[in-house]
């Protein structure tokens, strides 16, 4: 079965190669992150972070496949009765975005995102050992490919896997809204 899927994917890639345009790009922007935690002992507020990275864009008629490699600062502001501190969760994310190309350079985006934890701190305390090393999210959003290679995106990444490693811990998932600007090298202007 795996060989059949691999062969089908390879055939699809080869058959669309004549119709596709391939380009590389860079992007960066703001994260508005929070943690979805099943806990009554603390509150979790949105925290602003950033993301930077690169993408490969494979455009075929009406669709674009866009794998990316993104460094992303996520987390939340954690508040309890006596204190408040920032949770910084740094991930290397690999979204694989499928874009439906609309008129005027607009697009609708969706796809899976796989994250790998690089570091995790609450205040000065290292909590990386308390979290899982990976995260899975569903990415969805809107974009606009402007002339001359410029592009802007608004995307929401909904965590679907729990990131707490301890079995007795509260269920915790990432939630991140991203605003991005980027530049595409190669291909046509859209």
Domain limits for position 41: 21-185
3-state secondary structure of 7: helix
What number of H helices and E strands is found in the chain? Answer: 1, 10
- Residue 168 has a CB neighbour count (10 Å cut-off) of 5
**% the chain with pLDDT above 70:** 85
Q: What is the β-pairing status of strands 106-122 and 47-60?
A: unpaired
pLDDT tens by residue, 113-155: 999 999 999 888 998 998 999 999 999 999 999 988 999 999 9
Is the pLDDT higher at 130 or at 32? 32
pTM: 0.83
In a domain, 61, yes or no: yes
**How far apart, in Å, are the Cα atoms of 140 and each of 31, 96, 164, 177?**
14, 11, 24, 10
In a domain, 155, yes or no: yes
Question: DSSP label at 82?
Answer: S
Question: Could you tell me which of 72, 70, 90, 92 has the C-alpha nearest to residue 25?
Answer: 70
In a domain, 2, yes or no: no
The residues that bridge with 65 in the sheet, in sequence order, are 58, 98
Q: What is the β-pairing status of strands 106-122 and 134-145?
A: antiparallel
Instruction: pLDDT band for 189, please (50, 70, 90 cuts).
Output: very low
In a domain, 5, yes or no: no
**% the chain with pLDDT above 90:** 65
Phi, psi of 162 (to 5 degrees): -75, 140
In a domain, 42, yes or no: yes
- The tokens describing 132, both together, are 């899982």
How does the average pLDDT of the chain come out, rounded? 87
In a domain, 41, yes or no: yes
Is the pLDDT higher at 30 or at 19? 30
**How far apart, in Å, are the Cα atoms of 183 and each of 51, 91, 139?**
15, 22, 20
Note the pLDDT of residue 147.
85
Residue 185 Rama label (left phi>0; alpha psi -120 to 50; beta):
beta
Instruction: pLDDT band for 69, please (50, 70, 90 cuts).
Output: very high
Range with lowest mean pLDDT among 3-7, 38-42, 168-172, 179-183: 3-7
CATH assignment of the domain containing 145: 2.40.160.20
Instruction: pLDDT band for 10, please (50, 70, 90 cuts).
Output: low
- The tokens describing 170, both together, are 């509260």
Is the pLDDT higher at 132 or at 189? 132
In a domain, 15, yes or no: no
144/79 Cα distance (integer angstroms): 37
3-state secondary structure of 13: helix
Note the pLDDT of residue 80.
81
For the segment 69-91, the average pLDDT, to the nearest whole number, is 91
Note the pLDDT of residue 166.
72
In a domain, 150, yes or no: yes
165/152 Cα distance (integer angstroms): 35
Work out how many domains the chain is built from and give that number.
1
């Amino acid at each position: 079965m795996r060989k059949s899927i691999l062969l089908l994917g390879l055939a699809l890639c080869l058959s669309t190669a004549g119709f596709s345009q391939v380009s590389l790009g860079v992007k960066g922007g703001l994260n508005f992150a929070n943690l979805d935690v099943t806990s009554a002992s603390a509150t979790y507020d949105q925290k602003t972070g950033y993301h930077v990275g690169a993408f490969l864009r494979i455009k075929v008629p009406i669709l674009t496949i866009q794998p990316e490699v993104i460094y992303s600062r996520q987390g939340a502001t954690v508040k309890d009765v006596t204190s408040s501190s920032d949770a910084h969760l740094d991930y290397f994310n690999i979204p694989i975005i499928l874009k439906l190309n609309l008129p005027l350079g607009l697009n609708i985006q969706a796809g899976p995102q796989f994250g790998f934890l690089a570091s995790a701190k609450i205040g000065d305390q290292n909590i990386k050992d308390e979290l899982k090393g990976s995260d899975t999210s569903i990415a969805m959003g809107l974009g606009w490919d402007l002339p001359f290679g410029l592009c802007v995106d608004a995307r929401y990444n909904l965590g679907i896997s729990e990131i707490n490693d301890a079995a007795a811990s509260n269920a915790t998932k990432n939630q991140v809204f991203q605003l991005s600007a980027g530049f595409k090298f190669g291909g046509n202007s859209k």
